[in-house]
Amino acid sequence: MINIYIRKREIFISSTLTPVALSNRNKFRQQVIEAIDKEIINNHYTKNVNIRVNEFTLRRIIEKYSEQAVYRPIDDMRYYFQYSKRAFIEPGYPPLFYPAVVDRKRAANISAVSAIGEGVSGLVLQQMYGCRKLVRPYKDGVDIVMTNGRETYLIEAKGSATPQEEDFLNKLDNEYLLQMVCETLSSAGIDSRRLKGFLIGVHLKDELNYTCYITEIKIY
């Protein structure tokens, strides 16, 4: 079984920033950044429910939600984590061989990490919000569009297997959150139903433990 630990926060963005968010001028864009920074300071991630999922179920969910063409991403990451723990280093080599292997930089398969991030995001939204997939855009806009029948959800999913989890969280706030807020603001007036945005970061601690960071963007 794979454990998914949920951490969630909500941020509130005024709809009056919609014209500003669509502008490419730095002066106007800075107003959106300041509004986001204020919300981040006041609203921190808090522990939420934890989810346990069978590996084969998650594999099917990944196929449903991910745009990545990767074969068995869960198995791929299991091999990566085992390799990172030096499970395949054999004895009997000259002494200088081992420092070279131990200190060698290791990188996970980006497509596998992204696929798991997208699959976990879809699974978490299904279970926490009781929603279903409307569409899975390909190379256009957000990663997933979902609905619970009353609201429309825009989901942007990011995955990471870096040992520096804090760096991943900073990247979510500094690089991806502004883009997702602007996407949500620009879409809020189009749908007749209420719309929310979700930036979801999935950090793979090891092959059996993931942490899912949810930022729910509400427009008022």
Mean pLDDT, range 77-97, rounded to an integer: 74
Could you tell me the strand order of the sheet in which 151-160 lies?
46-53, 2-13, 209-219, 194-206, 151-160, 144-147, 132-135
Mean pLDDT, range 51-62, rounded to an integer: 93
pLDDT for the residue 88: 61
> Which residues span the domain enclosing 6?
2-219
User: Model's pTM, two decimal places?
Assistant: 0.88
- Both tokens of 90, joined, read 């054999």
Please count the structural domains in the chain.
Answer: 1
pLDDT tens readout for residues 8-54: 999 999 888 888 777 777 777 788 888 888 888 888 999 888 999 99
pLDDT for the residue 105: 66
Residue 57: enclosing H or E segment and its boundaries?
helix 55-65
- Both tokens of 66, joined, read 């991910």
Distance, CA of 161 to CA of 199 (rounded, Å): 17
